[in-house]
Amino acid sequence: MSVRLGIVGVGVMGADHARTIASQVAGASIRSIYDANAERARQIADEVGATDVAGDPLRLIGDPQVDAVLIASPDSTHKELSLACIMARKPVLCEKPLASTSQECLELIDAEMAAGVRLVQVGYMRRFDPAYAAMKAQLAAGQLGKPLLFHCIHRNVAAPPWFDGGMAIANSAVHEFDIIRWMLAGDLTAISVFRPGEVSTQTPGAPVFLVLDGPGGTLATIEVFNDAAYGYDVRGELVCEKGTIELQRPVHALVNHALSQGASYPLDWRPRFQDAYRLQAQGWIDSIRDGKPTGASAWDGYAATLVAEAGLRSLASGHREDIPATPVPRLYG
Ligand code: ISE
């Protein structure tokens, strides 16, 4: 059986997902596409061989010819559309963030628990990135002992025009919140947010530096700098009792020129995480076919949002803020 997909939103990320699925993912076909820009929807539908362009996202979700839905529309629409998928009992891969607030995430979790089955996967694609997966496998192998510190760096070329001062935390660092929880297999309990020098908390692309308390007494640090100018750059180093594990970014060519050697940086996250996006999409399709959920659950989406909310509180207060502890419901255990 091939899974017939509907895709809601084919802007930058949705179009990227559609192309990846059409060209590199087995067991799925794209049946229907919706975008607020109908012309764009038609153009991407033609490109990826989708049979239908839907006039309305809820109609796409309800279409009996659509088995599962990928949501890549603007963040503010994620909650309502994911809820509609749960109500229609259709698996959904929703781009991060799952919803705008932790309260909204809980509404989705309640709906999923009422359905009694995990239908939601959140697009925290770094869980599928070969570099993070290799880091986790090395940690699990045990020869480096227990993890102590996780240093993370996350730089973008330029903050988009619609960014505000808190989005370095709510839009960018959420990826680290998720991957730190996944890597260290436990929840984050407190967060302190710092900004260098006289930088205003309202400056969109300015650097933020976060220190987090993790499971088992671990500490994590995150630098997010969204106006870093030189390239898209994500780094990570896990410091353990007997050694460290560093992420390597995929570099396929080194250029030797003018007495120097170098590798170029991508302009944004799509090339850096292209393997992760492909493996995430394949994992999602396989999970629909074999009924075994994979990737970040709605609960993980909620947990990352709780950390982001505490981070925004710390940004405003200048103090260390606790992250509320919440017992994991059985559906997600
Ligand atoms: C963007 O929304 C993403 O999700 C990217 O993966 C991330 O690296 C970037 O910082 C975000 O703004």
The pLDDT value given to residue 198: 76
Atom 1 of ligand 1: nearest residue by CA position = 172
Pocket around ligand 1 at a 6 A CB cut-off = 156, 171-172, 175, 269
Residue of 124, 269, 270, 274 to test ligand 1 pocket, by largest number of atoms within 8 Å of CB? 269
- What is the residue with the minimal CA distance to atom 12 of ligand 1? 172
CA-nearest residue, atom 2 of ligand 1: 171
pLDDT given for residue 203 in this prediction: 81
Specify whether the CB–CB gap between 60 and 36 falls below 8 A. Answer: no
Compute the CA torsion angle 109, 314, 212, 271 (nearest 10 deg): 70
- If DSSP codes are grouped into helix, strand and coil, which group holds residue 117? coil
The residue behind tokens 């509609």 is 84
Burial of 168 (0-12, 13-18, 19+ CB in 10 A): buried
Any residues with CB less than 8 A from the CB of 30 and at least 6 apart, and which? 5, 6, 7, 18, 21, 22, 45, 48, 49, 50
The model's pLDDT over 10-53, given as tens digits with 9 standing for 90+, comes to: 999 999 999 999 999 999 999 999 999 999 999 999 999 999 99
Q: Ligand 1 centre from 290 Cα, in Å?
A: 30
Tell me phi and psi for residue 221, to 5 degrees.
-120, 145
User: What are the strands, taking DSSP E only, across the chain?
Assistant: 3-8, 28-34, 52-53, 68-71, 92-94, 120-122, 147-155, 190-194, 208-213, 219-225, 233-240, 243-246, 255-257, 260-262, 321-322
Percent of the chain with pLDDT over 90: 95
Ligand 1 centroid–CA 144 distance in Å is: 31
Query: From atom 11 of ligand 1, which residue's Cα is the shortest distance away?
Result: 172
CA-nearest residue for atom 9, ligand 1, is 172
* Per-residue pLDDT, 202: 74
Q: Which residues of the chain have pLDDT under 50?
A: none
Protein residue whose Cα sits closest to atom 10 of ligand 1: 172
163 CA: nearest ligand 1 atom: 12
Query: What pLDDT is recorded for position 68?
Result: 98
Return d(Cα 267, Cα 246) in angstroms, integer. Answer: 22
Strand partners, 190: 213, 322
Contacting residues for 257 by C-beta, under 8 A, at least 6 apart? none
Q: What is the pLDDT of residue 26?
A: 98
What confidence score (pLDDT) does residue 200 get? Answer: 75
pLDDT in the model for residue 33: 98
What spacing in Å lies between the alpha carbon of 269 and ligand 1's midpoint? 7
Q: What is the pLDDT of residue 100?
A: 94
**Index of the ligand 1 atom closest to the CA of residue 273:** 6
Type of residue found at 192: S
- Edge to edge, what strands does the sheet with 233-240 contain? 243-246, 233-240, 147-155, 219-225, 208-213, 190-194, 321-322
3-class DSSP state of 155 = strand
- Give the whole-angstrom CA distance, residue 123 versus residue 301: 9
pTM metric for this prediction = 0.97
Quick one: which H or E segment has residue 139? helix 130-141
